[in-house]
Chain A
Amino acid sequence: MKNNNVMGVVFANVNDDLIRELTEVRSMASVPFGGRYRMIDFSLSNLVNAGVSKVGIIPKYNYHSLMDHVGSGKPWDLDRKSGGLSILPPYVNSEISIDTGRIDSLSSVMSYLSKSKENYIVLCDADVVGNIDISKMVDAHIESKADITFAYKNGPLPKSNANIMTFEMQDDGRIVKIRTPENYGVICDFSLDIIIMQRTLLIDLVKTAREENMSHRLRDVISSKIDTLKLVGYEVKEFTLVIDGTDSYANANFALLDPAVRAELFALERPIYTKNRDDVPTRYGLEAKVSNSLIADGCVIEGEVNDCVLFRGVKVEKGAKLSNCIIMQDSVVRSNANLRCVIADKNVEITEGRELSGAPTHYMTVRKSSKV
């Protein structure tokens, strides 16, 4: 059911530079994922599946592909008269620069925040793959009487350019210490940067931070209030993967080849929505050999495809052989080409007989619209 009391804000460009090869032409939010999705589909669908019907997206750079993808918000039923989807690009003025933290981004959309009527606001990023039940988190936030609730995951610490927060909590979940360690891979309770608080509290925090010339980072501002505000951790039990590099991007795509992961990620009761392209069904040719692969609609497959993720409209010609590859929209692999551990961006053409090979620890990336 629609929840009129909660709104969402999605930061579109967080951790872009961890996958530079794919974000040169787009934001993290619009990085293609899993055959037919873009990264932001997870955040948007999670919010919408929790009944949120008002979402603001804050992009910073490279947001044309993002705007093209989300459009009016129709696929998420966010094309609404009341609430709905707003894209809120920052504008630079003497007081706000584009290159700083979330305090500035939020400050530049202050009128959007203050004109809203919802009691609660959910902040999230677009670098987490996961089907997370946000409504449970909202319930937990209200029940715990927390001022701010942070979603966290217990597991190996992902990389991050903004230093991910880790939490030290009491038994009741109250956060007593926030750290930003850099020993990636160590098992800890790390933040997924999904944060819930009252909208008015967020406005206060942002205004105070700017008036008092504090940090540009929301995290620092919140950390400084650890004694006066009740900060609570909410453990996310659902399957999640944080994209923190090209290899983790590739592995997250290949994780979808596991039926258990797909069942959880694409749970029928909480669908992940995306823009529809009206592709035809995928055509398998007479000599097609496909094994253990995830394939979107609109593909034409006449060659051999093993352990791959193919996006919409990919063509694999006769005699071509692909293994452990991620091939994005409308790319063409010509006959007798042989690819191993390759990530090909959109509209790439791999010419006849070409051999390209990366390694499972170091995927070879082919840039958008290039011909190899």
Chain B
Amino acid sequence: MKKTECVAMLLAGGQGSRLGVLTQKIAKPAVPYGGKYRIIDFPLSNCVNSGIETVGVLTQYQPLELNDYIGSGKPWDLDRSNGGVHVLPPYQKIEGADWYKGTANAIYQNIPFLERYNPEYVLILSGDHIYKMDYSDMLKRHKETGADCTIAVLEVSLEEASRFGIMNAHEDGTIYEFEEKPANPKSNLASMGIYIFNWSILREYLENDEKDPNSSNDFGKNIIPNMLNNGEKLITYPFSAYWKDVGTIDSLWEANLDLLNPKVELDLADPNWRIYSRTPSASPQFISDTAVVQNSLVTEGCNISGKVDFSILFENVTVEEGAEVRDSLVMPGAVIKSGASVQYAIVAENSVIESGAKVGERPEEVSNLDDWGVAVVGADLTVGKNASVSAKAMVTQSVKEGEKV
């Protein structure tokens, strides 16, 4: 088989439990974002825009929707005869079957897949972040420095640093120490979970790690520390553009509304770095003569007769006359009926907010700000007439008429 220089492995098996009801039925990378995308569109589009056209997507948790979404890889031009996108779930082998035990084990179990392409380099990605990054530039640095492993890092504030895996590096970028969520961080270079390895070296470490019964088979906890201990050359790749972890309800909400902030540098319309997505066939959006739509992103198939401000509406959303949507995300197919109000909330796919219902509260409506947060209504649910959903609530089953949750 033709040799492939760099293969990307995208870890997409995580549950994303902190997203609660939003990831009850779908894996985190399949969570909708930005009006017409899913989180996984970012790493996938980054790959093709960087010239990496062989991508393995490792799935495990609730893979149905993700599998369907990736399909043949056509939306990203990844339906190729040579390479392309491959969905890689755990599978049964002669010596038995195992779930992916950790990030490193997931790659270990797919050594045969990587060997088919016999790459020089392997790029490890996750499906948890919103960012635009040229991996080919990172690979260039990896080759130039002669590193065994290059890790993309982001400067964070020192206060935040204790939430991340921190790389302590010399001025030339050589990493001498890695600390997972340190209480007293020595540096503010946070690992973005993006690694490039020389495949031959990574393979060796994966095999040794597998033999260690005490290992949690994780890149951050095991592979990277082991490489450091053995004196391999690990180099940072500094990244400074927009990057956001969307692992929590608040950060998902924020990362979406960042698209409305002119000061945030995340331009999805940049023709030189397109973010591709699989979009259904919908008619153009219709804004009626009773609608007021301002400072918002609205997608095809929407039917708007109510008031929409500082919000993101995904495809085929209906906002009826007299309904109000503010500071919120309304995911595909949801219906906000007349007189309903949705504020500081996420309404997931195909849910219906009946007339007069109130979902979410403004911060100034809450007496104790600690009780305030974004309200979430899960997919395929109904919030009944005149029902109300308080701030920070997470609705996992339909709310009856007049009920308060």
Contacts and interface: CB of A to CB of B under 8 A. Distances in A.
B118 to A, nearest CB: 30
B248 interface: no
A288 B281 contact: no
Interface residues of B, number: 36
Given A259-B286, A292-B287, A280 B269 contact: yes
Interface in A136-194: none
Given A278-B276, A280-B269, A34 B283 contact: yes
Interface string A252-279: 0000110100100110000111101011
B119 to A, nearest CB: 28
Contact of A278 (B34, B277, B284, B296): B277
Contacts of A200: none
A284 B294 contact: yes
Nearest to A35: B284
Contacts of B366: none
Contacts of A100: none
B284 A294 contact: yes
Main secondary structure of the interface of B (DSSP, over half): loop
Contact of A295 (B35, B260, B276, B285): B285
A281 B274 CA distance: 13
Contacts of B260: 283
B116 to A, nearest CB: 25
B286 A284 contact: no
Contact of A290 (B36, B274, B276, B291): B291
Interface size class of A (residues with CB under 8 A): 35 or more
A23 interface: no
Specify which of A34, A276, A298, A310 lies most central, judged by the most chain B CB atoms within 10 Å of its CB: A276
Contact of A292 (B288, B297, B300, B312): B288
B103 interface: no
Nearest to A298: B269
Contacts of A3: none
B368 to A, nearest CB: 31
A238 interface: no
Interface in B269-303: 269, 274-277, 279, 281-289, 291-300, 303
A116 interface: no
Interface in A9-61: 34-36
Interface of A: 34-36, 74-75, 256-257, 259, 262, 265-266, 271-274, 276, 278-298, 309-310
Interface of B: 34-36, 74-75, 260, 268-269, 274-277, 279, 281-289, 291-300, 303, 308, 312-313
